[in-house]
Amino acid sequence: MNLPFSLGFTSWGFFAALALLVALSRLLPRRALPTLLLGASLLYYLALAPAALPILAAATVVVYFCGRLTAKDKSAAAGFGVAAALLLLAVTKYLPALLGSKFSIITPLGISYFVFSAISYLCDLRKGKLPPERDFGRLALYLFFFAKITSGPIEKAGDFFASLDELEKGDKPFENRQGFLLILSGCIRKLAISDLLSGAVAAVFDAPAGQSGLAVFGATLCYTLQIYGDFAGYTDLARGSALLLGVPMSENFIHPYAATSIKDFWRRWHISLSSFLRDYVYIPLGGNRKGKARKQLNVLIVFVLSGIWHGVGFTFLLWGLLHGLLQIIEDFLPWREKLKARFGERSALYLVPSVTVTFLLVAFCWMPFRAADMATYGALLKALAHPGSLSGAWRTLGLSLPDLLTVAAAFFASDRLKKAALPAKIPAKAPEKAPIPKRPTAARTLPMRKVAEPAVSAPAPREEKRGGSLTPAFPGCLLLAAAALLLLFLAAKSGSGGSFIYIGF
Amino acid sequence: MKLLNLLAFSFGFLPFRLPLSAVILLIAALCFAFRFRRTGKGAPLAVFMLLAAAAFALLLLFADPLAAVPALLLCGALLLPAKKGGKRK
């Protein structure tokens, strides 16, 4: 089925469909919303990858029955389900890539996220963290939910079902303001950071021969920012859309490039994947409980698996291996800890070198991740040895000063939007008893009830109103919405606005 | 003040009113600057606003919509509350 319009997260088609869905969600009773969301999610997947739908539908049935059987025989059924999910991933994602034209099968869109969600559900069942889901529709919604099927976040089944329970009961109001702000932030990150820098990255990484070292360095920095803008933008759009429909999803990024070490970086980057690998791979392998050497080995295994998960090829494997090795080296060379102990954790003398070194290491690791193959990566590394001229590198990248200003402003704007989207702090509860005025006042002569009420309750509603209201953020939001609309118009007009990087994984 | 901002960016969207939009935005930025100066708070914010507005105005005068994006983003971000949850002191 070829749609006459795009359904990408930054397309008009998607926004129109989302608006319709939001309108329907406000009209229908709360108990009907999971059904509405499941219908919308299946339609969305059908529109994007119709041929793959039967494969994932069959997998959902297997996961459902394995889940039901897990209640009776905990290890066998869950183990079978996990093995079946991994087999599906291997057959549909890795075999076609490894065997080339000898083996042809459809790779379902979002297969990695689908399989990870299924594994998370079955493993949590086996551990007894949640009861088996009796409602097939709710399980199908967990696996197919349109906001997370293509690129995550990898939600834990327990959290997702708890959100659905709250949605059905109608305990919580819809988070319209937060959802809108997150969508705005996502649009800005995708259109004003990722799409703007993609040309500069492609100019070098797609034609590595004869590039200068400075051009490669510049393109690597651009890719470092591009992939963050792209994936964090996607996540914001997904979380914002889900919030508008009453389903909160977990945060995936917390200022990853402000990390002070590689370990810290993985606490801030793709948090849902890091948590998944920690809970379902690192800890079952023994974590840090079996000695230092075993801990290092476990770290290495986890990061190699993470690399393989991202794609087939030695470039991804190398990327995972580099991250694993850097973490091990960090353990043996604790220079950051020494700086921290000497100058304090808020000192610039600790933060500036730690953050800069971590950022450069992470950027260096992105090189094989973006390179098409190992030969390209080798050519890029060779080019680094010959810096070349700054003006030549600037011309190669094809960026202008307004472009750089746009990227900087977009980072700033999205950061502010994320802060504004966070729930307002609830002011501390006023004391039960009204404070007794030191001096007698005219009011004190009135009956006590009349005096106490305003004295206790007056400040609280005002704070709540200011914290929860859209008003303080309104002018800024209006400008940012104008910028996002302008970018959307320009992207639609020029036919640019490529797909999201992580959809390929 | 808020009405002025609203007006500035309503006009800003209409390409044939670009110079007018730029002028209105500059006035709005100046008002911000004076207000912050009077209250003694947020002077750097006012300066940034002014610079951003000036850049926006200049870029808009060249009628390049893409070039107007950074100014829009910068002005918008500066107008958002810096505190979590949209609270302002």
pLDDT tens readout for residues A13-34? 889 999 999 999 999 998 899 9
List C-alpha distances in Å: A435 to A442, A448, A455: 16, 12, 8
Cβ–Cβ below 8 Å for B76 and A478: yes
* Regions in chain A scoring below 70 on pLDDT: 1-7, 73-74, 101-103, 423-473, 475, 495-498, 503-505
Smallest CA–CA distance, residue B3 to chain A, in Å, is 9
Q: Say how many CB pairs under 8 Å bridge A and B.
A: 119
Q: Please answer whether residues A299 and A306 qualify as being in contact, where contact means their C-beta atoms are separated by less than 8 angstroms.
A: no
* Spatial separation of the C-alpha atoms in residues B69 and B65, rounded to whole Å: 7
**What's the pLDDT score for residue B22?**
54
Q: Per the structure block, which two tokens stand in for A86?
A: 């991994």
Nearest to B69 among A192, A415, A420 (CB): A192
> Residue B57: its pLDDT value, please?
56
**Could B73 and A410 be called an inter-chain contact, meaning their C-beta atoms sit closer than 8 Å?**
yes
- Please tell me the total number of residues recorded for chain B in this structure: 89
CA distance A503 to chain B (A): 27
> Half-sphere exposure (CA, 13 Å, Cβ side) for A480?
33
* Interatomic CA distance for residues B71 and B9, integer angstroms: 12
Q: Which of B78, B79, B87 has its CB closest to that of A424?
A: B87
Contacts A474 to B, Cβ<8 Å: 2
Chain A residues with beta carbon closer than 8 angstroms to that of B2: 474-475
Respond yes or no: is residue A270 known to be catalytic.
no
Q: How far is A494 from B80, CA to CA, in rounded Å?
A: 30
Chain A residues touching B86 at Cβ < 8 A: 419-420, 424, 467-470, 472-473
Residues of A in contact with B74 (CB under 8 A): 405, 409, 412-413
Task: Write out chain A residues lying below 8 Å of B84, CB-based.
Answer: 419, 422, 424-425
* pLDDT score of A455: 37
Distance between CA atoms of residues A133 and A140, nearest Å:
10
Predicted pLDDT of residue A261: 93
> What pLDDT score was predicted for residue A447?
39
CB contact under 8 A, A475 and B2: yes
Q: What value, to the nearest 5°, has the Cα angle with vertex A89 and ends A194 and A273? A: 45
The shortest C-alpha distance from B36 to chain A (Å) reads 16
Q: Cβ separation of A406 and B6 shorter than 8 Å?
A: no
Supply the ipTM of this predicted assembly.
0.72
Q: Which has the higher per-residue pLDDT, B52 or A232? A: A232
Position B1 scores a pLDDT of 45
pLDDT at position B53 is 64
Interface touch B9/A402, C-beta < 8 Å? no
Query: Residue A188: closest CA among chain B residues belongs to which residue?
Result: B73
The contacts of residue A482 (CB under 8 Å, 6+ apart) are: B9, B12, B13, B72, B76
As to burial, measured by CB atoms within 10 angstroms (0-12 exposed, 13-18 middle, 19+ buried), residue A446 is: exposed
Rounded CA separation A256/A16 (Å): 32
pTM, two decimals, is 0.81
Burial A336-361 (b: 16+ CB within 10 A, else e): beebbeeeeeeeeebbeebbeebbeb
